[in-house]
Structure 1
């Protein structure tokens, strides 16, 4: 139940278990508010009929939630906070920490940062309304974990920058600085093309490995700026991998990377399956809750 002056912030969808209740006992969410489970009323699945197989009865789902102040998470406040990078970083880190803590004990479906409802009752209603969709997605994610694979180009592998062209000291110079500059530019171009070709071949090798060990792939846009430093990110994929295939996947990627010395292949994870989750179809709007618009 909400405390006065608060909204219900939801981090993820999961299935409630005794083990998860115990794990959440000391878990703190945004603003150090205690995390809790908002459990839906059991909903019958297609197999929940008399005589059906064990475990196919009514299914409970839960939002992982905590209280947040109305003054920070109503619609007007959020518009301002989304311009505050320090505030966003703090909320995003706490959101991630809660999701990862749940993922260590149960299958989890992460939700968008700053998904809020007017109160626990509205949140439970949204959970019930989307019960079948959430349950199906949790079935897909069960016993799976997300890993990322990135390919980077090392600028040094493309050769040194050509020297700046200078005016020739004498007209009769055997090789003019201008010609030397052009030759260096061509050599650099060929070296860069060779590195890009190696990156393409590495991507094909990764795709072949993924076909053997992964369930789903999401292709994200390459990263840039401070996230990559001097290296150029040319591949940024996320894979949903069965837990019993994760070690073999990582080992196969490491083995393949040895054939491509001029690119860097990085495997990240394990992560909660952010890339394979989905936001609620009807997140609360101004008429229902003081949360962000869809």
Structure 2
């Protein structure tokens, strides 16, 4: 959550969804959008060569304490996140857009204009970077084939004791299973690296994200790559086709999602 001087005692604060170059092509795109619950009209706030898409909201509903409570309420958090994303998506349809994080709040419109003026260089750099680009997510899954664990040698009732060396043979079989599992894991990670390398050739930028834990419904389904790519719009079809080719070539499962507003590629500018 980003605050810039808003306090609970204020009657209203300015919520900022996104920053764009000018308001001429964005006013119509946000007209009629509800925005955040209990907020005013979603509008475009000009500031020189830049504009912010904003909404006046009750400041008391966006204090740190209130928002921390909201973060623990999954349904409420989803409501606010969807409202934020709906506005950002509408703005991005009108041109290059820098989406701001959920719950970016300023004391008033004047503070927003001041920020856009003071940080104009950074915003223009980000806008140039994402212009006519979208974000695509790629997840690569490998299947870890189950390996039967070796049975521990035990003497049957009335039989002679276990022959010498049987315990060592059991340990060797167990070690061999672990080594095969590790080799498969290394092979899957190598495939993931090769998939990432080829996709990067079609992308303007990329970021690796934390991989998820094994699927509860299928624990053999292991995620070996979770990445996001900034792709020019004219290369989107080529990027999607390459993902399909790589899936067939590598024998892994590749999940492609997008195009999205490039949230992941503006914060680092």
Is the structural similarity TM-score above 0.5?
Answer: yes
Q: Answer yes or no: is the 8 Å Cα contact 1:13–1:62 preserved in 2.
A: yes
Give the structure 2 partner of residue 26 of structure 1: 32
In structure 2, do the counterparts of structure 1 residues 279 and 25 end up closer, same or farther at CA, with 3 Å as the change threshold? farther
Tell me if 1:39 matches 2:46.
Answer: yes
Partner Cα separation in structure 2 for residue 177 and residue 35 of structure 1: 73
Q: Answer yes or no: is the 8 Å Cα contact 2:151–2:170 preserved in 1.
A: no
1:119 Cα offset (Å): 1.4
Structure 1 unpaired stretches of 5+: 43-59, 281-294
Tell me if 1:259 matches 2:249.
Answer: yes
1:23 Cα offset (Å): 1.4
Partner Cα separation in structure 2 for residue 27 and residue 227 of structure 1: 38
Give the structure 1 partner of residue 15 of structure 2: 9
In structure 2, do the counterparts of structure 1 residues 279 and 117 end up closer, same or farther at CA, with 3 Å as the change threshold? farther
In structure 2, do the counterparts of structure 1 residues 247 and 32 end up closer, same or farther at CA, with 3 Å as the change threshold? farther
TM-score when scaled to structure 2?
A: 0.81
Aligned partner of residue 149 in structure 2, secondary structure: coil
Give the structure 1 partner of residue 126 of structure 2: 137
In structure 2, do the counterparts of structure 1 residues 227 and 62 end up closer, same or farther at CA, with 3 Å as the change threshold? farther
Partner Cα separation in structure 2 for residue 271 and residue 97 of structure 1: 12
Give the structure 2 partner of residue 103 of structure 1: 92
Give the structure 2 partner of residue 118 of structure 1: 107
1:234 Cα offset (Å): 2.3
Partner Cα separation in structure 1 for residue 195 and residue 67 of structure 2: 44
Kindly report which structure 2 residues correspond to 1:181-220, keeping only aligned pairs within 5 A, or say none.
Answer: 183=173, 186-187=176-177, 189-211=179-201, 213-220=202-209
RMSD: 3.0
The correspondence for 1:237, drawn from 219, 227, 242, is 227
In structure 2, do the counterparts of structure 1 residues 122 and 28 end up closer, same or farther at CA, with 3 Å as the change threshold? same
1:275 Cα offset (Å): 0.7
Tell me if 1:167 matches 2:154.
Answer: yes
Give the structure 2 partner of residue 269 of structure 1: 258
Aligned partner of residue 259 in structure 2, secondary structure: strand
Aligned residues: 255
Tell me if 1:127 matches 2:116.
Answer: yes
In structure 2, do the counterparts of structure 1 residues 226 and 129 end up closer, same or farther at CA, with 3 Å as the change threshold? farther
1:108 Cα offset (Å): 1.2
Aligned partner of residue 31 in structure 2, secondary structure: helix
Structure 2 unpaired stretches of 5+: 1-9
In structure 2, do the counterparts of structure 1 residues 70 and 257 end up closer, same or farther at CA, with 3 Å as the change threshold? same
Aligned partner of residue 80 in structure 2, secondary structure: helix
Kindly report which structure 2 residues correspond to 1:145-160, keeping only aligned pairs within 5 A, or say none.
Answer: 145-155=134-144, 157=145, 159-160=146-147
Give the structure 2 partner of residue 223 of structure 1: 212
Q: Answer yes or no: is the 8 Å Cα contact 2:195–2:246 preserved in 1.
A: yes
Partner Cα separation in structure 2 for residue 100 and residue 161 of structure 1: 49
